[in-house]
A = this chain, B = another copy of it.
Amino acid sequence: MAGDSRHPERAAVTALADGFLAGLREWLTIPSIGTDPAHHADVGRSASWLAAALRADGWPQVEVWDAGPALPAVYACWPSADPDAPTVLVYGHHDVQPVDPLELWQHPPFSPVLVGEELFGRGASDDKGQVAMHLLAVRAHLAATGQAAPSVTLKLFVEGEEESGSPHIRRLLDDHRTDLACDLVVFTDTPLHERDAPTVCTGQRGVVGAEVTFTGGSSDVHSGRAGGGVPNPVTALARLVGALHDDNGRVQLPGFYDGVLEPSEQERADWASLPFDETAWLAHNAGGAQVASGEAGWSTLERVWVRPTAEVNGIVGGYTGPGLKTIVPSRASVKLSFRLVPGQRPEVVIDQLRSFVLAHTPAGVHAEVEVRGEGVPPYAADVTHPANTALREAFEAAFDQPVRFSRTGGSGPAALLHAWLGVPVVYLGATLPDDRIHAPNERVVVPLLLKGAEAAAVLWRILPERLVR
């Protein structure tokens, strides 16, 4: 079926592929690490590169939003010739994760290298590769249809702070409400299930984080002097962390599962039928973990897609140098984050955490809970929405095989876009869960990006007749 060309977008993508790849490789040389102030100028350079590429492609309106406080975002609009055509806002981001530990990269992270079908480099998958995929899709859509403008009015919103938790996105959405007005958001920052089992993502988990610090005395004290006679804040904090889960892996914050929307039996059956090689998943998606484990009663995919979690991201307290030091430490702190699922809200979970900490703070220990940002709410798309139906059809056309729905366990501002813009959000992504995003040796599988561009190009063509405004 590889040579199938029932739709004209395939040949158009193929013809444009070399130029697409050259452009992406150039963009990937810009180290737009938004979380590192030393690279903020590079985030600006990255935005300028994208704006120039859009202008070169013929987008009639291209803006770099760099008035601050947000790092530069890129906005573009290409109106349809049909004033009644729906308006679609494509969301992505051009900032990238830090690259530490640098010594684990087999190629320098900002000198992209193509090895067979894989393009290696920071941002290749998350998310420059997928944003570039959309540029290719629009060119292919115009080439395939012979039109001077897209069938839908296309808007592009590519932010520069996603890897920082989108701290100023609410402000951008407020400041540019008219620019961003649309009928549908196509969110492009999620993966397929597997290369051989392409899927349309329909939801992400949310996340919220906090640091809990326990303080006992005003200084560490010799354990021969006072050990056994005073509270040990590290012990107290470990007892708190130990109490976060019961023996079935259920999170013990009071009310944590209240209102959690469980997937339907149909969804669970669909996911159970997806191919899943646990050994490969552990090796490639789970940092080489030796076993899968988690909340009783749910499969591994369900645990990471649709079940909420309480995770310790880091802990430190007392003496951590070489050898022993027999002290009762004065202080310990733990970084916690919670992945949230539809039905949960970040601010409610933080309240639950505060109650839990209060209940687990022993006498003589002072507790402090420092919340990190506002959190990211979870989002689940309506799988029966016509846009999702059209999206699946476009994917089936591009991948020449049946396409099912999936979820992803990561987080992004989909719920925010939905709430601020008041429109449905669907997910269009063509990367893989084992692309090593946020890790050394990030890569993207180039033929999948081409398939994704093909699917997007088909979508722009068929969407007007599917979306009743």
State whether A316 and B316 are in contact (beta carbons under 8 Å apart), knowing that A289-B217, A293-B230, A304-B228 are contacts in the complex. Answer: yes
Indicate the size class of the contact surface on chain A: 35 or more
Q: Mark the stretch among A55-63, A231-239, A382-390, A397-405 that contacts chain B.
A: A231-239
Name the distance in Å between A328's Cβ and chain B's nearest Cβ: 6
A205 touches B224 (CB 8 A): yes
Which residue of B207, B232, B286, B325 contacts A226 across the interface (Cβ within 8 Å)?
Answer: B286
B409 touches A226 (CB 8 A): yes
Which residue of B211, B309, B372 contacts A227 across the interface (Cβ within 8 Å)?
Answer: B309
Residues of the B chain whose Cβ atoms lie less than 8 Å from the Cβ of A437: 222
Q: Is A300 an interface residue (CB 8 A)?
A: yes
Nearest residue (CB) in B for A215 is B290
Nearest residue (CB) in B for A293 is B231
Residues of the B chain whose Cβ atoms lie less than 8 Å from the Cβ of A362: 293
Q: Mark the stretch among A25-33, A329-337, A350-358 that contacts chain B.
A: A329-337
| Number of copies of this chain that the complex holds | 2
Which residue of B221, B235, B244, B288 contacts A241 across the interface (Cβ within 8 Å)?
Answer: B235
B295 touches A410 (CB 8 A): no
Residues of the B chain whose Cβ atoms lie less than 8 Å from the Cβ of A327: 313-314
Q: Is A209 an interface residue (CB 8 A)?
A: yes
Q: Is A292 an interface residue (CB 8 A)?
A: yes
State whether A286 and B326 are in contact (beta carbons under 8 Å apart), knowing that A239-B241, A316-B316 are contacts in the complex. Answer: no
Nearest residue (CB) in B for A411 is B224
Q: Is A220 an interface residue (CB 8 A)?
A: yes
B317 touches A317 (CB 8 A): no
A226 touches B313 (CB 8 A): no
Name the distance in Å between A139's Cβ and chain B's nearest Cβ: 31
Name the distance in Å between A283's Cβ and chain B's nearest Cβ: 9
Residues of the B chain whose Cβ atoms lie less than 8 Å from the Cβ of A243: 242
Residues of the B chain whose Cβ atoms lie less than 8 Å from the Cβ of A223: 207, 309, 311, 313, 337, 339
The distance in angstroms between the C-alpha atoms of A335 and B409, with both chains bound, is: 34
Q: Is A178 an interface residue (CB 8 A)?
A: no
A290 touches B364 (CB 8 A): yes
B224 touches A285 (CB 8 A): no
Name the distance in Å between A32's Cβ and chain B's nearest Cβ: 19
Residues of A within 8 A of B (CB): 204-205, 207, 209, 211, 216-232, 234-235, 237-245, 282, 285-295, 300, 303-304, 307-309, 311-320, 323-330, 332, 334-335, 337, 339, 362-366, 372-373, 408-411, 433, 437-439
7 more A-B contacts (CB under 8 A) besides A217-B289, A225-B286, A241-B242?
A217-B288, A235-B242, A238-B334, A239-B245, A291-B363, A314-B327, A324-B372
